[in-house]
Amino acid sequence: MLKKQVIKRYVFLSLSIALAIVIFAFSNQSAQVSSKDSEGLIYFLLTLISGIFGWSNQEMLSIVDAIHTLVRKTAHFSIYALLGVFVLNYVLTYIKSIKRASWTTVLVCFLYACSDEIHQLFIPGRSGEIRDVVIDTLGAAVGVLFMMLTIEVINRYKRRKKW
Regions of the chain where pLDDT drops below 50: none
> Burial letters for 16-42: b for 16+ Cβ neighbours within 10 Å, e otherwise?
beebbeebeebbebeeeebeeebbeeb
Domain ranges of the chain: 2-32+69-162
Structure confidence at residue 114 (pLDDT)? 98
pTM, two decimals, is 0.87
The answer to whether 140 and 106 have CB atoms below 8 angstroms apart is yes
Query: For the segment 52-75, what is each residue's pLDDT rounded down to a tens digit?
Result: 888 888 888 888 888 888 988 999
The answer to whether 108 and 90 have CB atoms below 8 angstroms apart is no
